[in-house]
């Protein structure tokens, strides 16, 4: 039993420091709604606690995730006799701040002093901790309320222990900061003094819990807490995947089949074995395509250090059988996709009669948009360390899904999950790549075969050549306008190889989660809407990359809005608001089979055009939409709902006489409902602008003869400081009462590229329909 006992694991300390001075975060009231709530708030000051039932007004999809939610405080909280409170972070830290913000929720609700809170990282164990998948911008959305319940349970147990000690009714005691106080006598007991007694109590039933009135929050929503690893990061002490060293550890680099679905025929290890430090060369097992998260196979070089392993790997002579995808060629494939969207495809939404309305329209505007494959290239390439001891596997790895990794390890090694330990390190970026544990499975298989601890290090070239790439897509939108310029018909065809192809052979249609990312959930107030998904075969591993299909969908839809504005001689923001229409709840079309709402119930997470309109109006006002700009400058706007959040972005560009593009300013408004750490939301919006600029300006993975043509940051460049937006302002909409939390990690990305390209059009009259922009602006 570990009730409230010190876990004895290595913990890092919570730290507090001032908010950054760069840019601005402003909390801006949602007009009307929030005013009303504030006025009411003045009248109900008496209670500082609310019954849980009052706070549980919203449901989430958390319970439907594998292994659901665990809210047992004994799993997540321990208190040492010296008062140090240790809180478990069960989600992975890849830069969003979640390792800090989830424990912060517990600490606030239980009344803990953040300076006396330590955070420990959970190993992969979903039976114990509940779902641990850190993706889909879900962590705060699914865990705000459960973490509050955990904190409230712990607080209640401490209060009960104090009341029993003092022999007073529990109603007479309350929790201050890190102590429990008796109202009448002023007696106080610190958390540490109560821990042992509290640990003997039963956990209170959820429906009896009383949660803090949000007005009483000290940490949640304040943005005054720095990430727990901040100091360690600045001193080089923070531990990432490659920073684990075990006695006797071997360093491994693998040559994998250069074409997806290919396999090794023969290899000659002679030259590799001549490299000083190389100890052994051996085949590693691969799985047939589609290989899901299983290893690709190939030839491993085992050495005494990483440098030797890389050099040895590069000296290998290998004959490959390239398999079925040997002809994959980006130029030819692009033509295939563009042909596909010019013909009818599988109808995935059909409201009214778009075909008929397009025929009778006064004017039809057609936009075809193309976006290539993208690679994640997080700064830390995939890496994993594994140790096999007496039939048990222990790994240390930067994984977004420690629970899923544990299950996949057990399956692959054909051992019980009880014999698998997955230790989650910090992630040097993830962006979806590290949800797929192929690199961990490689390390585990080799550790068992060599009966030695091994670290498998992917080089950057390995990462670029063997990623689970963001899809490549063609998007074609036809908008039919009546005589007054009103849009009366909308047909959107989207063709792109599906993530489903990584799991199911020959999958050619997008799966509901992809269709639900900006295609079938398009909220415009248009009578006749038809969405089609023509077939597209996959020839490489397709995976999810930050915001996934929302990238091409937002680009197409929000570019089209500006194209309509141009065609009708109107202001793009006005046309955007007109298309969104009046504030209302938009139901998912009855014509859609399995509509995807990011896994959330529509009752608590509807498509709310009032919130969509509001972020548009807010960002336009803050950015000074319509203000006079210097020569060569232009402003563009875009809005997109994704991960059940609402984000609008205005980008200002400057383009010089040679066509060189710079971004002096970005303004982003986000409505993500109730939020925990506005400072980290701001950092996510800043990062999304930079990543969005990389996507728009230079991001492209291409194929020839089945092989990825890029290898590293020299030929797959990303934005550096000289090109980054100079100023990024973030405006966070305060949640109206009862608005549940939604995503923040991903949804900043989709509106950026269309806002940028709309700005380029405003500045130059050049419409960018194909990404990346690269030299399209050159004069």
- Judged by CB under 8 A, the chain residues 352 through 381 that form the site for another protein are 377-381
Q: Taking CB under 8 A as the rule, does residue 726 contact another protein? A: yes
Distance CA 447, CA 456 (A): 10
Site string for another protein, 117-156 (x = CB under 8 A): ----------------------------------------
Q: Taking CB under 8 A as the rule, does residue 460 contact another protein? A: yes
Q: Taking CB under 8 A as the rule, does residue 720 contact another protein? A: yes
DSSP collapsed to 3 states, 425-442: CECCCCCCHHHCCHHHHH
Q: Taking CB under 8 A as the rule, does residue 317 contact another protein? A: no
Q: Near another protein by CB under 8 A, which window of 153-161, 193-201, 453-461, 557-565?
A: 453-461
CB of residue 356 to another protein, shortest distance in Å: 46
Other beta carbons within 10 Å of 427: 25
Closer CB to another protein, residue 199 or residue 304?
A: 304
Distance CA 247, CA 454 (A): 10
CB of residue 557 to another protein, shortest distance in Å: 24
Distance CA 706, CA 471 (A): 15
Distance CA 60, CA 62 (A): 5
Q: Taking CB under 8 A as the rule, does residue 235 contact another protein? A: yes
Site for another protein in 263-282 (CB under 8 A): 276-277
CB of residue 717 to another protein, shortest distance in Å: 9
Site string for another protein, 650-689 (x = CB under 8 A): -----------------------------x---xx-xxxx
Q: Is 279 helix (H, G, I), strand (E, B) or coil?
A: strand
Dihedral sign of CA atoms 492, 494, 499, 501 in order: positive
716 HSE (CA, 13 A, CB side): 23
Phi/psi of residue 488, each to 5°? -115, -10
Closer CB to another protein, residue 80 or residue 654?
A: 654
Q: Taking CB under 8 A as the rule, does residue 226 contact another protein? A: yes
Q: Taking CB under 8 A as the rule, does residue 750 contact another protein? A: no
Q: Taking CB under 8 A as the rule, does residue 188 contact another protein? A: no
Q: Taking CB under 8 A as the rule, does residue 331 contact another protein? A: no
Closer CB to another protein, residue 22 or residue 778?
A: 22
Site for another protein in 389-428 (CB under 8 A): 426-428
Phi/psi of residue 153, each to 5°? -65, -50
The b/e string for 386-399 (b: 16+ C-beta within 10 A; e otherwise) is bbbeeeebbbbbbb
Site for another protein in 529-548 (CB under 8 A): none
Among 174, 218, 231, 769, the residue binding another protein under the rule CB under 8 A is 231
CB of residue 151 to another protein, shortest distance in Å: 24
CB of residue 15 to another protein, shortest distance in Å: 8
CB of residue 374 to another protein, shortest distance in Å: 12
CB of residue 242 to another protein, shortest distance in Å: 7
Residue 537 class from Cβ within 10 Å (0-12 exposed, 13-18 middle, 19+ buried)? middle
Q: Near another protein by CB under 8 A, which window of 40-48, 102-110, 572-580, 722-730?
A: 722-730
DSSP string, 592-605: -SS--STT--TTTS
Q: Which two structure tokens, joined as six digits, stand for 171? A: 């109603």
Which of 638, 550, 611, 613 lies closest to 740 in space, CA to CA? 611
CB of residue 376 to another protein, shortest distance in Å: 8
Q: Taking CB under 8 A as the rule, does residue 691 contact another protein? A: yes
Q: Is 51 helix (H, G, I), strand (E, B) or coil?
A: strand
Number of residues that bind another protein (CB under 8 A): 75
Contacts of 764 by beta carbon, 8 Å cutoff, 6+ apart: 634, 655, 777
Which of 254, 278, 304, 303 lies closest to 438 in space, CA to CA? 254
Identify whether the C-beta of residue 262 lies closer than 8 Å to the C-beta of residue 707.
no
Q: Taking CB under 8 A as the rule, does residue 219 contact another protein? A: no
Q: Which two structure tokens, joined as six digits, stand for 268? A: 């000659």
Q: Taking CB under 8 A as the rule, does residue 727 contact another protein? A: yes
Q: Taking CB under 8 A as the rule, does residue 55 contact another protein? A: no
Q: Taking CB under 8 A as the rule, does residue 305 contact another protein? A: yes
CB of residue 428 to another protein, shortest distance in Å: 3
CB of residue 229 to another protein, shortest distance in Å: 6
Phi/psi of residue 486, each to 5°? -75, 140
DSSP state of 542: B
Site for another protein in 13-32 (CB under 8 A): 17-23
CB of residue 289 to another protein, shortest distance in Å: 28
Other beta carbons within 10 Å of 778: 10
Distance CA 454, CA 452 (A): 6
Identify whether the C-beta of residue 402 lies closer than 8 Å to the C-beta of residue 422.
yes
CB of residue 728 to another protein, shortest distance in Å: 6
Distance CA 142, CA 65 (A): 10
Closer CB to another protein, residue 199 or residue 306?
A: 306
Distance CA 674, CA 370 (A): 35
Q: Taking CB under 8 A as the rule, does residue 516 contact another protein? A: no
Q: Taking CB under 8 A as the rule, does residue 115 contact another protein? A: no
Q: What share of the chain is helix, strand, coil (3-state, %, to 5)?
A: 30, 25, 45
Among 200, 245, 594, 766, the residue binding another protein under the rule CB under 8 A is 245
Among 722, 765, 775, 779, the residue binding another protein under the rule CB under 8 A is 722
Other beta carbons within 10 Å of 202: 7
Closer CB to another protein, residue 180 or residue 551?
A: 551
CB of residue 680 to another protein, shortest distance in Å: 8
């Amino acid at each position: 039993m570990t009730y409230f006992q010190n876990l004895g694991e290595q913990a890092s300390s919570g730290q507090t420091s001032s908010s950054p001075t760069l840019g601005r975060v402003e909390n801006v009231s949602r007009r009307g709604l929030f005013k009303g709530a504030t006025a009411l708030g003045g009248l109900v000051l008496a209670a500082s606690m609310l019954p849980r039932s009052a706070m549980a007004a919203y449901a989430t999809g958390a319970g439907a995730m594998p292994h659901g939610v665990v809210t047992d405080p004994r799993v997540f909280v321990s208190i040492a006799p010296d008062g140090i409170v240790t809180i478990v972070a069960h989600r992975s830290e890849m830069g969003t701040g979640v390792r800090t913000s989830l424990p912060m929720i517990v600490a606030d609700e239980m009344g803990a002093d953040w300076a006396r809170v330590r955070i420990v990282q959970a190993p992969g164990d979903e039976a114990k901790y509940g779902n641990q998948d850190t993706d889909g911008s879900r962590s705060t959305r699914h865990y705000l309320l459960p973490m509050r319940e955990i904190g409230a349970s712990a607080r209640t147990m401490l209060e009960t222990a104090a009341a029993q000690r003092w022999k007073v009714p529990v109603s007479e005691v309350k929790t201050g900061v890190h102590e429990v106080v008796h109202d009448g006598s002023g007696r106080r007991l610190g958390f540490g003094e109560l821990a042992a007694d509290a640990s003997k109590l039963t956990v209170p039933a959820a429906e009896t819990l009383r949660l803090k009135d949000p007005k009483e929050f000290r940490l949640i929503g304040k943005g005054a807490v720095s990430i727990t690893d901040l100091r360690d990061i600045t001193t080089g002490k923070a531990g990432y995947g490659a920073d684990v060293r075990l006695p006797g550890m071997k360093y491994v680099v693998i040559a994998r089949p250069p074409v997806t679905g290919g396999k090794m025929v023969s290899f000659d290890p002679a030259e590799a074995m001549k490299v000083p430090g190389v100890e052994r060369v051996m085949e590693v097992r691969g799985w047939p395509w589609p290989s899901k998260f299983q290893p690709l196979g190939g030839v491993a070089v085992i050495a005494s250090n990483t440098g030797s392993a890389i050099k040895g790997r590069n000296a290998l002579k290998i004959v490959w059988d390239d398999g079925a995808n040997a002809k994959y060629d980006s130029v030819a494939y692009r033509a295939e996709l563009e042909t596909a969207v010019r013909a009818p495809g599988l109808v995935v939404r059909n409201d009214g009669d778009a075909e008929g309305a397009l025929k009778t329209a006064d004017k039809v505007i057609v936009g075809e948009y193309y976006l290539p494959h993208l690679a994640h290239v997080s700064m830390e390439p995939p890496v994993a360390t594994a140790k096999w001891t007496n039939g048990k596997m222990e790994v240390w790895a930067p994984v977004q899904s420690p629970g899923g990794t544990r299950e996949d390890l057990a399956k692959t090694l054909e051992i019980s999950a009880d014999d698998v330990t997955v230790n989650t390190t910090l992630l040097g970026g993830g962006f979806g790549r590290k949800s797929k544990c192929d690199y961990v499975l490689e390390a585990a298989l080799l550790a068992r075969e060599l009966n030695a601890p091994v670290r498998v290090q992917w080089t950057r070239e390995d990462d670029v050549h063997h990623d689970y790439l963001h899809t490549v897509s063609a998007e074609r939108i036809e908008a039919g306008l009546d005589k007054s310029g009103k849009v009366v018909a909308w047909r959107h065809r989207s063709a792109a190889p599906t993530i489903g192809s990584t799991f199911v052979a020959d999958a050619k249609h997008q799966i509901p989660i992809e269709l639900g990312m900006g295609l079938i959930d398009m909220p415009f107030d248009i009578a006749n809407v038809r969405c089609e998904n023509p077939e597209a075969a996959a020839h490489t591993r397709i995976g999810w990359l930050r915001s996934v299909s929302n990238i091409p969908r937002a680009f197409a839809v929000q570019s089209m809005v500006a194209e309509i504005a141009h065609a009708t001689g109107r202001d793009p923001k006005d046309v955007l608001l007109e298309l969104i229409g009046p504030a209302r709840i938009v139901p998912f079309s009855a014509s859609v089979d399995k509509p995807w709402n990011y896994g959330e119930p529509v009752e608590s997470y509807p498509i709310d055009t009032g919130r969509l309109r509001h972020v548009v109006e807010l960002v336009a006002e803050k950015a000074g939409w319509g203000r006079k700009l210097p020569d060569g400058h232009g402003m563009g706007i875009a809005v997109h709902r994704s991960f059940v959040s609402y984000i609008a972005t205005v980008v200002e560009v400057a383009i010089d006489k040679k066509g060189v593009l710079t971004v002096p300013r970005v303004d982003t408004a986000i409505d993500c409902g109730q939020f925990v750490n506005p400072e980290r939301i701001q950092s996510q919006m800043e990062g999304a602008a930079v990543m969005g600029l990389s996507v728009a300006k230079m991001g492209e993975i291409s194929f020839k003869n089945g092989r990825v043509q890029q290898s590293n940051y020299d030929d797959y460049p990303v934005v550096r400081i000289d090109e980054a937006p100079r100023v990024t302002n973030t405006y966070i909409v305060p949640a109206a009462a009862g608005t549940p939390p939604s995503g923040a990690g991903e949804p900043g990305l989709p509106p950026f590229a269309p806002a940028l390209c709309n700005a380029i059009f405003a500045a130059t009259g050049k419409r960018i329909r194909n990404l990346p922009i690269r030299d399209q602006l050159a004069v």
